[in-house]
């Protein structure tokens, strides 16, 4: 299995709703990532988990709450979002997150994304 | 942080080689150059990466200049399915407080035309 699976593919939610995005990989990767991508813009890093611990939070508002229940799963809990949070949310994984970059170890495999619309 | 500069867009005729340039003049000694592409409405896809030497795989070739200040991604025989945004990324080093970051620049939109 060489894929990162994201669910749901599409999500529409109101500003008062609570929802979650899910990401799963079975490649034995120990680093997982959340990126946010607005239309016609490059992906922006949100969070990095390394060995199930949050290692990077790019000053993301607290209405986005990541969770890594185990090494294969990554969730993004959403609460009280704003319309400007509408975007494509991308999950990725890699063998590890070390910047030492053992050749190949830092290659990220991305999922297809969850397209979020906040009304 | 080493940053990259890429042309905003390029065209290429189908069947011809596509050469995508990238400048990374502030790259540090142990930073790798990575290339990813993103086809419309899909997640980014890894293409190739390198440190100093030229690299080739089944998708592309990566040519890195001797001073490492620039590189070129070569798709030897472009097809319509290669139409995508191509990102050149310098991977940040460990120990600088930026472990694990893969930061995307604006990328080059490659349009392969029949």
B2 touches chain A (CB under 8 A): no
pLDDT tens digits, B71-85: 999 999 999 999 999
Instruction: Give the residues across from A23 on adjacent strands.
Output: A6, A74
The upper half-sphere exposure of residue A68, i.e. CA atoms within 13 Å in the direction of its Cβ, equals 22
pLDDT at B114: 95
Ramachandran region, residue B82 (left: φ > 0; alpha: ψ -120 to 50; beta: rest): alpha
- Cβ atoms within 10 A of the Cβ of B29, count? 8
pLDDT in tens, B24-35: 998 888 788 999
* Residues B43-58: tens digit of each pLDDT: 999 999 998 889 999 9
Give the model's pLDDT for residue B2. 62
- Of residues A55, A103, A113, nearest to B100 (C-beta): A55
Instruction: Report d(CA B50, CA B34) in Å as an integer.
Output: 7
What is the predicted pLDDT for the residue at B66? 94
B43 and A50 within 8 Å at the Cβ level: the answer is no
User: How far apart are the C-alpha atoms of B42 and B5, rounded to whole Å?
Assistant: 23
Q: Which two tokens stand for residue A32?
A: 């997982």
Q: Does B106 touch chain A (CB under 8 A)?
A: yes
| DSSP class per residue in chain A | ---EEEE-SEEEE-TT-EEEEEEEE-S---EEEEEEE-TTS--EEEEEEETTEEEEE-S--TTEEEEEEETTEEEEEEES--GGG-EEEEEEEES---TT--TTTT--EE---EEEEE-
Residues of chain B with Cβ-Cβ distance to A97 below 8 Å are 99-100
Per-residue pLDDT of chain A (119 residues; tens, 9 = 90+): 779 999 999 999 999 999 999 999 999 999 999 999 999 999 999 999 989 999 989 999 999 999 999 999 999 999 999 999 999 999 999 887 665 545 555 789 999 999 999 99
pLDDT of residue B95: 44
Beta bridge partners of A50: A31, A53
Query: Does B46 contact A109 at a Cβ distance shorter than 8 Å?
Result: yes
Nearest to B68, CA basis, from B101, B103, B30: B30
What pLDDT, on the 0 to 100 scale, is given for residue A103?
A: 56
A-chain residues near B42 (CB < 8 A):
112-113
Residue B68 above 60 pLDDT?
yes
- pLDDT at position A101 is 47
What does the pLDDT read at residue B29? 82
Q: How confident is the model at residue B98 (pLDDT cuts 50, 70, 90)?
A: very low
How close B74 comes to chain A (CA, Å)? 19
| A vs B: CB pairs below 8 A | 77
């Amino acid at each position: 299995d060489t894929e990162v699976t994201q669910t749901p593919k599409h999500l529409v939610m109101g500003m008062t709703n609570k929802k979650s995005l899910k990401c799963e990989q079975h490649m034995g990767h120990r680093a997982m990532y959340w990126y946010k991508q607005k239309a016609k813009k490059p992906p922006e890093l949100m969070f990095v988990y390394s060995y199930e611990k949050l290692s990077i939070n790019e000053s993301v508002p607290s209405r986005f709450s990541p969770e890594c229940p185990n090494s294969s799963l990554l969730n993004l809990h959403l609460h009280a979002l704003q319309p400007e949070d509408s975007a494509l949310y991308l999950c990725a994984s890699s063998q590890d997150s070390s910047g030492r970059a053992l050749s190949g170890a830092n290659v990220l495999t991305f999922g297809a994304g969850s397209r979020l619309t906040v009304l | 942080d080493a940053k990259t500069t890429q042309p905003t867009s390029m065209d290429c005729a189908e069947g011809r080689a596509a050469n995508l340039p990238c400048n990374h003049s502030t790259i540090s000694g142990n930073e790798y150059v990575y290339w990813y592409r993103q086809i419309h409405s899909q997640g980014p896809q890894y293409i190739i990466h390198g440190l100093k030497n030229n690299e080739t795989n089944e998708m592309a070739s990566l040519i890195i200049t001797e001073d490492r200040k620039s590189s070129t991604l070569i798709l030897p025989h472009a097809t319509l399915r290669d139409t995508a945004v191509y990102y050149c990324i310098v991977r940040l080093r460990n120990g600088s407080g930026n472990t694990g970051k893969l930061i995307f620049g604006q990328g080059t939109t490659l349009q392969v035309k029949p």
